[in-house]
Structures are given as C-alpha cells and as structure tokens.
Structure 1
C-alpha cells in the first residue's frame, strides 16, 4: 500500500516531524507555531512558509511556548535552551543571557504584559522587566518568585488580569502586580492546575478533577469529572471546551456532568480568539511522535489541517538511492510500525506501508531496490521495487529469531548479508541463501543497528559485542568448507564494535565505546583515543569514509574528521545535534553517500542531512624538532613551529598521562619551546596541537 501525503516545499538540514505543537502566536496576518521539533511559520490560510530548526539559530528545538511583544517580535520558551528572542523583521534568533535565564529550566508558559515578560517554569516564576526596550537585554532586571513564597516551583500556566495568577502542581497562587503580596490556594478542586482563564468576569481553573471558579476569596466546583490528564481549556461561544489527553471535549450547556466529544486525539492547546469566529486547537497524533495537526471549529464547519512532515521524528535509519530518493525508517515509534517515509527529489513526501512490521534498517542494492530489515519474530526482510510499486518478502519460518533482523549489508556482487537473531545469512542475487552459524557472535541489541563492511577481497566484516567478525568466504558462497572465520580483538580497548566501515584503500575502520581505529594487515588494530588523536570523545558511535578518503567519526561530543594520508584531524560540529536528554540510543545510524556528497545522521529527534565539504581542507603544517630528542646534555628543548594564533598544546606520554600544557611552553620568534627536563623519561610522547577547528597529533621520542 502506498499513500502520497504532502508536498514539502522547503528541505532543511534537519528533517523532523515538527507537528507536535506546543504553542501559537499571531504576528500580523501570520501564525508562528512552537513545537517539539522547532518553529514553524504559516500564513493566514495555514500553508507552511518556513521551518526553523536548531541549525537556524535556535538554542534548542524543544520549544514549549511563545508570545509576541508589542514590537511584533517573538519570545520563545524551551527545554534545554533557555529563552529565545526572535527578531521577526530580520529573521534572527538571539538566546537570552543564560546568566539571567538558565538553560537548565523548562519554560512552560510565556505571557508579555506591557513591558514585562513573565515565565512560568519548573523552577519558579521568572519576571523580566524590560523597561520598554525588548531587544536590549543588558538593561533588563530579572528576578524570581519561588518556594517558599509559593507552595511549589513547578508552574504550569499563567494568567494576568487584575492580579497575576499561577497554576501549579499544588494549587493556585495569586500575586499582586507590585510582586509584594502572594496568596496561595491549595486544592482549588484537584491538586494540579493546568490552565486559568477569565470568562464573564469570573476566574476559572482547570484541574485533573474538573473546573473550579473563584468567588469571595475561595474556589468552588463548577464542573466535576475525573479527567486525569488535562492540558488546556477555553470559553468559546458560551461553552467550555477541554483539551485533554483523550481528546477535545465540549461541556454541554446547562450541564455539570455531560461532555460532547469533538476529537479523540490528544489535544494540548486552545485558541478561541486568533481567527474570527473560529476555535483553533493544537492536536497531537495517536502515538507520541507521529503526526499532529491543527483543528478549526466554527458554527458552520470543522477542519483538520495537516502540514507537510515525515511520519515520525524518530528515524532509525536513512538511505539515498541512485535517483536521489531518500528513505527513512521509524523503528519503535510504536510497536508494529510499518511505515517508511520517502522524500522524493522534488521534495514530495510519500508514506510507504510495508508488508512486514517494525521496519528498522535499510540498504540499497545495485538495481536501486530498497531492502528493509524488520525487528520481529514474524518479521524478516522485505524488498521494495519502486518501478513495480510493490514489496517482496523474505522470511525464515513463520515465527523465528532468524526473522529478527539486526542489519543488512550489500557487497560488491550484490549479495545481501543479513545479521539476524541466530546467525548470518547471505542472500545472493539469484535468491539463493546460505547460513553462517558462528560461535561467540553475541546477542543483538534492539536499538543498535549492526553494520557490515567489505574490503577489496570482498571479505565480510561485522561489528559484534565480542569483537570484529571477519568472514572470508573466498567468493564461493556454496562451499562453506574453505571459509575462514575469525573474531578479531587484538589491540582493542573495548571488544564492543558499535560500527564498522571500509575506506578507499579497503582498510576496515571501527567505532567502539573506548576509541576508534583501523584493522592492520596483521589482524590487529591501531587505536585512536582523545589522548593520541583528534577524537572529541572516546565514546565513538559511528565511522564512515567519503570519496576523499576522509574518515568521519561521530562521537558522544561531536564529529571528528581524520585525513589518514596527512595524519590530520578536524572538528566538524556545524551539523552536530546535541543529545540534550542524554538518551542512550539517541544517534541511530550514520551514512555517507558519495554520489550525492551527503551525510545522513539518523537520530531520535529527526534526520540531519548536509553536504560534506567538496575539497579536502588545506591548513597549516606543524613542524617539531629535533625528533628524536637525545638527552645528552643539561639544556635540551623541543621546538614547535608553523602554528597559528590561539593554539593549545598538550603533551601526553605513551600511557596517556598528561605531561605538559600551554603554560609549560615559551614563545620565541614564532616558535613554541619547551624544556625536556626530568619529567620526560625515555620513550614515546604525543604532542596535541589544537585550534577551534582542527586537532593534530605529532609523535616524538625521547632517548636517554
């Protein structure tokens, strides 16, 4: 089954499902929507005009709310990124100084009253007095109202009327506008207050047990119902509407009991005044990460508005075919997911419904067909034939661990190598398959795709929990007797191989939890760590190679590039997306496509897609001398020349112990000089030379 969904007019370097909306603001005739995936601008007809992501200047794409100031600029609340100011005229983002508004807080709601900005957060109420100069942060006064002035710091909502009202997880607080007097009202009906409104000169609050109203300095029940998870409510055309986890409901007039169901999808925000005679609702999809939509309701019509997006923000794997079609798998959006997002070269988005469930890993063969591995005992492998618009299925029994697919690789002869829950299967181009039952293969991990690599002899390599597996089948798949199979660990600091890849010379590179490296001719590894290389972190998730034979490493702290021929390192964090929530499998796959010159990084928040630099960089060439250094007299020095400004130098011994830093070097006539004194024993040393963009490692030897 194939379903064409939308046309996406703008492809960004970050592709995600941005329809998990959290807030809306109107600026002139346009609407801005905050979401878990970024900021969206739509016109008055709700057509998408622009999408802004982390790579457009947002300090975080986990946006929680937004509000418009009198100058028609936006203030945007986030998780993990503090408060953001958006100049709507010049389309520029500025992050509010984190010394005033910390990045660590979650901003739940924003209200701007005259020249004052109020932030409801999980760390109290922040008040910003702008003095009327919204764009000038330096003259702002910022203070906080927090526990014990109010019963809790966890504030969900705000209302500014004659007083300032806060909805918290411990009732309601009323604050005078001089911020000197606070009154607290515990349990107005339930404990948690998610929304506060004023209707017909009466204050109403929404709790998990229903709606209460305020009169004579106390709250009274108005509508009693065990709603449990509630988000928002409003008063529209003489009726109350409730936004809840279970849907959108209308309280039937003259009834304190009955609800009329409008929608059954999770509804999070309601806006009764943004569009004339229309109630506008922000609705999420049925699962946490699938498509949300806008809902319009009036006396004469109701309408769902879908914006162009991929099926889910969770991308488990991504691959380009030879025609520029981009396929995305969305494993574990929910159990049984069977949709693949296909972004065509014209940017139209198609949802492919697979014939098997839990689509997880992807590969493209020489005939431009898509191969999909499925994680289920009734899964297996499916093959999508784009010209015929259909799927073929390959299974090994109806219910078997052989159908639980960890990864698929395709070698030079178009043979599909499949890692499953029991063994490894080779499926040749004629449909014949051969099984390799290997001891110590190790278990599969649910969220970690296994990657195959192939050297120039067409030997097969696979990362496992016990080392690097090599299968030399001598190109005779039908003769298992001449096979050479081994698991290689010699030289590794960790036997766990997260990912493997081959470079232009046929060398096999590995990424491990404790460094990265390549396999030498003697079947041992040369390993790089932060101490002897330009790796940004020892925890390396992925490795791949581009057409210039540059080796790309995706680490816990960012992307490092290595030029083996020049032994140079470069940091490439322009397109690195931080894992703010510290999820253990946030980065799902890493693929380089040389035909289109693109890098694809699949993450649980979306796909990072960018062109890699066309030309190898040309930079400074550090020189060190003498090398080796012979300690045959009292004053022996190491000299380093041909360095740029603001360089950082460190020296480590062979065991990784830090021996010297910048402070130990002297600069004379453009050279950096260090005395080789008693702390330098005989042996091998590593000099790290680091700038903001590059990191070099130079080796030198001290002989006593």
Structure 2
C-alpha cells in the first residue's frame, strides 16, 4: 500500500504543473456540464424503412404497426413516432403480424426470426424460435384470444396457452402439415364460438378446440374441415378474416367471400376484378376493406351482399385499425399510416431509407451517408438513392430525368463531391448537390448510350448496365459496362468529353464485369462474374490503345486453363487494395491476396460467399459475406466475426461496407436494412483538440458504468485529478487502435470516487495534450 502511495505522489508532482494554468482559467460550474451525445465502441444502430405496413393494432392511445423494417409506435397524444428494431430486442426486423394479449403484451410474428413479444410497460423483449416450439422461422399470423395464442407459420400452427400458476403463456403443441394436419402457409386467424378459423395459401380450415363433452384433438386431421375455391371461395389465398354478426367474412387474393351458413358466397360487388383484399374491419354498420387497389367501404353490413364504395383509390392498403374516437387508420405499402381526420386523410410517414434492401453504401467528404436501394417490386417502386445527414433521411425520387430502374449496382463519390449512380439498364446518373443539403441546388446529369461512350447490351442497345465506377489519380473516370457491345471497361476524362472503351477484343477477361479497383500505380483490376479477373496497365495513356504492350498491358487471372495465374474461382465479386498496396480479391468461394504474381488463399472466413471487402484506417480488412461480417486484423493472424446472432447486425447478408476513418464507424448495407457499428478503429489523430468525454455528467450506476475519453492520440495517458490537484487515477490508452480510454469512476486503490467535478489531463509522449473536466454524479 505504501509503495502505491509513493508512486502516486511522485506522479502527482510530475504532472501537477500542467494543471496550474488550467485551474486558473477554467471556472468550474456544476450547471455548466452539458451531456454530450456519443456512441460507445461496440454500439449498433439499425436504419430501416418502416412505411411498408403489414399489420395495425391499437393499445390505448398508441397505434402499433408491424412493418417490414421493425415495430413502429405512433403515440396519438403527441403524434410522436418511435421505431423498435433488432437493436432494441426484436428477434427479426421484418414483422409480418401482431396481436395484443389480455396482459397488454404485443405478440409479433416475423418473416424469418420466429415469434417476438414486447411488454410496453416494462420494456421487456422475448423471442420464441423453433427451439421454443414455434413451428418454423416464418410467422405470418398471430392471434391472441383469451387464454390462447395462435401462431401461424409455413409449416402449420403453434399453440401457446396461459398457465395460471406461472402467470405466463407456454407452448403447448403444434399442428403440422407434415403430420397430416390440413394447415400450411397460414396467413390469418379468427376465433369464433370455440372454433379456430385459419386462412391459408390453400383456402380456409376450421376446427373446434373446445367442446362441452370431450377434449378435441386438433392434431387429428379428422378434427378439421377445409374449404377452397370449389366451395365458393373467391380465391384460395386467404389474407384476413372479419365477423359480421355470426357470419365469417374472408378477404382473399380474388375479393371478399362470406360464410353465412354452410357455403361461401361472393361479397365482392363494387371491387375491381381479381382484387387482393389484405384486411377487413367492421365498425358499427360499416365494413372497411383494405385492398391492393385502395380503400373501400360498405355502408350497411346488415343488408348483404354489400356493394363497395371506393374511398382511397390507387394506394395499396394493407392494414386497418380504429381508434377510441372512431377515427379510421390505414396502413399502406410504402406510404406509412394514413388517418381519416374528418374529410381529410392525413399521412404519418416515418424517417428512413426508401427501401430495406440496401445495395450500396458510401460516405462523402461531409460524412453524409449515401445508399442505393433495391425495391421489393419493380416497376411499382424504383431503386431510389438516399442520403443520411444529421439523422435525417432524404430520398432522391426526382433526378432530372435519370431513370433509376430496379437496381443500382454502382455508387461512387468523386473528388469534387459529385455522386455517381450506376444503374441496371439506364446508364449513369451524376448528382452535383453543390455541397448543400437542399434539393434546390441539385444538378443532375444522365449518361447513356447517346451522350457517352457507354454501350447497351446486344439484345437492347438502349439498355445500359453499369456495375462499378472508380476514379484514377489523373481524375479520369472508369466504368464497368456490363455486357456492353464491344465494351466492358470504359474510361472518360474529367470533362466527360473523351471516351474510350476496352472489350474482350483488347484483352478484357469477360463482358460480365462486376468489380473494379485501381491501385497506387494506376493499375486497373477488373473482376468478372465468369472467367476470373483482369489486370490492365494502360501505361498512363488510357485513351491511346496503340502503345499498350501486347504482352504485359493485360493479364488474366482465372481458375481455368490456359491462364497461368490461377485463382480459387472465376466469380470475382469484390476487389480491394489495402494501405500497403496489396490486392485483395473476394470471390464466391472465399478471399485471396495477391503478392507479386502469386495468389495466397486466406482461410478463416465466416462464410465463403463474399460480397465485399473494405479496409479501415488501421489496415484491417472487413469482409461482407452472405453469412455475416468477418474482420481480419492488419497482421493477418486474427479473425473477429459478426452475425445477426452474436451481434446486432440487422442481417447476415452483407452487400456493401463503408468506413468512416475519422470516427471508426462501419456502415453495413444488407438485404434487410442498414447497420452502423461503432468499431472505434479510427485513424491516428494529429491533435487532441477534439477529445471528448462521454457520458458527461457520468452516472456510474447507469449503463455499463464507464466513462469514455474519445479522440485520443496514439500512446496517450489520461490523468484524473480532483479540484485540489491531487492525482487520483492514471489510465494508459490500450494498445487496440481505438483512440479511447475508459474510467470506471474509481481511484487507484479501487475505491469509488465521490460525486463532484474532476479534472482530466490527456497527454502522449510527443507532447500532445488536452485538459478538461468531467462530473461524477452518484
């Protein structure tokens, strides 16, 4: 103990003079401490579109929405919107259905992660999977009815029942098609007079689950009665149910059918022919139908059959709900929620990307995030570019005549800050936003087969596909012109006036080109979907083919003969050049690195099907695969893996990666949304002016009990002093390239420090330093 005291006293004398000026010029005011919003290393954030509504349910004054991008809560009291994703505890991001049990707990069916529950009163989440009895990962229907929870999946039905002793619901049994029960691909339920009615892709099934004389066995196929189009159903695909008195009404992909007695009859008069009906709702004497063609209403349900009246045409209405004031709320396919306030329909649209299938992601010089999306259906929706700036999303649905098509495989920001979008079929769109966030300043340019050197495909010369874009050291732009006629690799100068195309005839490996990289020597590396990869050295004269050396200008790397330089597979999906100039190749069968003319396979990947490789500020490699993300350290001897199971990554299918080298943020584009990971692996800093303390004030009993000092220079040490200048803790920065150090609120003896203001000094051996204050509140 005495040795420690002596060491601290000596250290205190050494650094005390650094604090003299600090205590003289800094006025310490408890009220002057302002909390700083800062993400911690290891934190995840999910960004999704929550405007594709799949189910609605009111609980008090809150409207809960099942969406393809998570769970959405709309509070009517203040019209605030809150989104819940996998980061909060949701088992899977795509929520297909929801129901509320008698305890007020939300039961959520998901399209890939089983069943989740959320208690809005306690904030508790639970997930039920196949290990918990749920009959499959895809849950398309949930109904909480009395002491039972009915769960519909692709394989059949799972039943949860209330246990009074335990005060909870527990799985009881499954009714599976593979066991002979005639239920499969379940889409809807209704519980009426002790019978469960089931809507499926193959019609309707019903069974009595409670009888006064015996206990029904629903695992016996004889307990079930089935109906389909031969029994009068409008369509075999049944999406929803409602009740009109004692009459079961079903919404199908072909209209509305009712079951007044023993057979099904049509209730589709007034609906467009073959209209899909997604939801039905009865309110007083009115009945509402949400359809693929819009919202329809029937004014007198007691005088069947109905004749439907159109109210909102042209908008796909997927869900219906009514609040306690009688206001009708409708969920749409992409347009959020719409409420009928008097004669006006008021939309409520949540912030987010245009779609959840994120094709590409990149950052501009202002650290705005840019993405391209792939819509769920085309041509109903387009592959809109989107920007995230200051936590606000902007969708560029108007782009100066640039038709964006169904897919944008290329996204690039040039040295002038212009954004380049390569489309599947419509050439290239170039956005000059003038460095502002207002669309009024935007100038769009469209490059196609008429005004550029880009070429269409043999089947359609106007159909121009561009799969990747890059810029060389001279400012020339390079394009991969997929299947272009007598094209493949295209270059133009910075004025966009001089164009040259390279094809298989020149030495390009194949026309189905998909990945491009340019190394420090100006060598172009081109990966193809077949036949491998090309290396092209234009000798600094890209617009002059005559000086290209026939023996060394083009080299082909393939697993096929007769090429001498072999790679593991010919499907090259990604090429990346690291900080030391080494070329890394991602393929459908793993990754390789190229040193000289030799390829070296790199083992240890989480999944061999590689989509993208990215390099961070410390030369670590981030590999996005169909099974998650694998991180290889700079030394090449240690892997770290991230999946949707062991982390809060929104989906395992990682399509693209962008890295903010200043902050260490890693942006991951997936087929289910955009994930942001706070890796903390940032570039070395040359100044400590931006050192920040978070959280500040520091409440040790809240969160993980640590306060972080961020933005430190390499080799820094943080010294903590009390207001009298006594050194109470010395914290060396870990050797992990995170530019951070953490303090647990304790002194050097391991005792908790008292509430109050403390001074910190961050300093490294090169003389960089920063002095500040942190408040501890217990």
Shorter-chain TM range is 0.7 to 0.9
SS in 1 for 2:396: strand
- Distance change in 2, residues 1:442/1:35 (3 Å): farther
SS in 2 for 1:462: strand
Q: Residue 118 in 1 paired to residue 133 in 2?
A: no
Is 330-339 or 559-568 further displaced after alignment?
330-339
Q: What CA deviation, in whole Å up to 9, does each residue of 1:645-671 have, x standing for no partner?
A: xxxxxxxxxxxxxxxxxxxxxxxxxxx
TM superposition shift of 1:105:
4.5
Q: Residue 486 in 1 paired to residue 555 in 2?
A: yes
From 546, 569, 578, give the equivalent of 2:639. 569
> In 2, distance between residues paired with 1:352 and 1:213?
41
TM superposition shift of 1:549:
0.7
Q: Residue 400 in 1 paired to residue 432 in 2?
A: no
From 355, 361, 367, give the equivalent of 2:410. 361
- Alignment match, 2:387: 342
Q: Residue 14 in 1 paired to residue 46 in 2?
A: yes
* Match runs of 1:565-644 below 5 Å: 565=635, 567-573=637-643, 574=647, 576-578=649-651, 587-614=654-681
> In 1, distance between residues paired with 2:158 and 2:122?
27
TM superposition shift of 1:200:
3.7
TM superposition shift of 1:615:
6.8
* Match runs of 1:606-685 below 5 Å: 606-614=673-681
> In 1, distance between residues paired with 2:309 and 2:547?
72
CA-based RMSD of the aligned residues comes to 3.2
TM-score (normalizing by structure 2): 0.68
- Alignment match, 2:492: 427
* Match runs of 1:184-203 below 5 Å: 184=225, 186-187=227-228, 189-190=232-233, 192=236, 193-203=238-248
> In 1, distance between residues paired with 2:299 and 2:534?
66
> In 1, distance between residues paired with 2:254 and 2:545?
68
> In 1, distance between residues paired with 2:216 and 2:511?
60
- Alignment match, 1:638: none
* Match runs of 1:458-497 below 5 Å: 458-464=522-528, 465-483=530-548, 484-489=553-558, 490-497=565-572
- Distance change in 2, residues 1:564/1:213 (3 Å): closer
Q: What CA deviation, in whole Å up to 9, does each residue of 1:39-95 have, x standing for no partner?
A: 112211584532222333322212111122233222111222111122323423221
> In 1, distance between residues paired with 2:289 and 2:378?
27
> In 1, distance between residues paired with 2:383 and 2:607?
35
- Alignment match, 2:204: 171
- Distance change in 2, residues 1:575/1:502 (3 Å): farther
> In 1, distance between residues paired with 2:669 and 2:166?
38
SS in 2 for 1:99: helix
> In 2, distance between residues paired with 1:592 and 1:135?
47
> In 2, distance between residues paired with 1:294 and 1:408?
38
TM superposition shift of 1:507:
1.1
> In 1, distance between residues paired with 2:122 and 2:599?
52
TM superposition shift of 1:556:
3.0
From 331, 349, 353, give the equivalent of 1:306. 349
- Alignment match, 1:450: 514
From 407, 419, 432, give the equivalent of 1:384. 432
TM superposition shift of 1:613:
3.4
SS in 1 for 2:467: strand
TM superposition shift of 1:511:
0.4
Q: What CA deviation, in whole Å up to 9, does each residue of 1:158-216 have, x standing for no partner?
A: 22232233133333414143561746263463053433322345443444565455555
- Distance change in 2, residues 1:328/1:141 (3 Å): closer
- Alignment match, 1:91: 123
Q: Is the 8 A contact 1:383 1:393 kept in 2?
A: no
> In 2, distance between residues paired with 1:443 and 1:292?
42
Q: Is the 8 A contact 1:434 1:477 kept in 2?
A: no
TM superposition shift of 1:154:
3.8
Q: Residue 554 in 1 paired to residue 624 in 2?
A: yes
- Distance change in 2, residues 1:124/1:433 (3 Å): same
> In 2, distance between residues paired with 1:236 and 1:57?
34
> In 2, distance between residues paired with 1:535 and 1:452?
22
TM superposition shift of 1:596:
4.3
- Alignment match, 2:286: 239
> In 2, distance between residues paired with 1:517 and 1:454?
17
Is 295-304 or 147-156 further displaced after alignment?
147-156
TM superposition shift of 1:277:
1.4
- Alignment match, 2:332: 283
> In 2, distance between residues paired with 1:164 and 1:321?
59
TM superposition shift of 1:314:
2.6
- Alignment match, 1:271: 321
TM superposition shift of 1:503:
0.5
* Match runs of 1:218-229 below 5 Å: 227-229=274-276
TM superposition shift of 1:461:
1.6
> In 2, distance between residues paired with 1:212 and 1:346?
46
> In 1, distance between residues paired with 2:442 and 2:65?
36
TM superposition shift of 1:409:
0.8
> In 1, distance between residues paired with 2:469 and 2:166?
54
> In 2, distance between residues paired with 1:22 and 1:106?
14
- Distance change in 2, residues 1:404/1:151 (3 Å): closer
Q: Is the 8 A contact 2:46 2:650 kept in 1?
A: no
TM superposition shift of 1:432:
4.3
- Distance change in 2, residues 1:35/1:512 (3 Å): same
> In 2, distance between residues paired with 1:220 and 1:301?
34
TM superposition shift of 1:450:
2.9
Q: Is the 8 A contact 2:427 2:449 kept in 1?
A: no
Q: What CA deviation, in whole Å up to 9, does each residue of 1:286-341 have, x standing for no partner?
A: xxxxx232122365443332222222223222211011222222356524936321
Q: Is the 8 A contact 2:606 2:628 kept in 1?
A: yes
- Distance change in 2, residues 1:180/1:149 (3 Å): farther
TM superposition shift of 1:535:
1.3
> In 2, distance between residues paired with 1:396 and 1:222?
52
- Distance change in 2, residues 1:248/1:406 (3 Å): same
> In 2, distance between residues paired with 1:386 and 1:58?
40
- Alignment match, 1:230: 277
- Aligned residue pairs: how many? 583
> In 1, distance between residues paired with 2:509 and 2:85?
39
- Alignment match, 1:631: none
- Distance change in 2, residues 1:433/1:601 (3 Å): farther
TM superposition shift of 1:407:
1.0
TM superposition shift of 1:599:
2.4
Higher strand share: 1
Q: Is the 8 A contact 2:74 2:82 kept in 1?
A: yes
Q: Is the 8 A contact 1:380 1:396 kept in 2?
A: no
- Alignment match, 2:396: 351
- Distance change in 2, residues 1:164/1:442 (3 Å): farther
Q: Residue 40 in 1 paired to residue 72 in 2?
A: yes
* Match runs of 1:687-698 below 5 Å: none
Structure 1 residue runs without a partner (length 5+): 1-9, 285-290, 580-585, 617-704
- Alignment match, 2:470: 409
TM-score (normalizing by structure 1): 0.75
SS in 2 for 1:409: strand
Q: What CA deviation, in whole Å up to 9, does each residue of 1:93-139 have, x standing for no partner?
A: 221253343362532322223332122333333221121478756xx
> In 2, distance between residues paired with 1:233 and 1:111?
15
Q: Is the 8 A contact 1:150 1:184 kept in 2?
A: no
Q: Is the 8 A contact 1:48 1:307 kept in 2?
A: no
From 173, 176, 179, give the equivalent of 1:143. 173
Structure 2 residue runs without a partner (length 5+): 1-38, 218-222, 436-440, 458-463, 559-564, 684-778
Q: Is the 8 A contact 2:86 2:648 kept in 1?
A: no
Q: Residue 513 in 1 paired to residue 562 in 2?
A: no
SS in 2 for 1:404: strand
From 159, 180, 183, give the equivalent of 2:216. 180
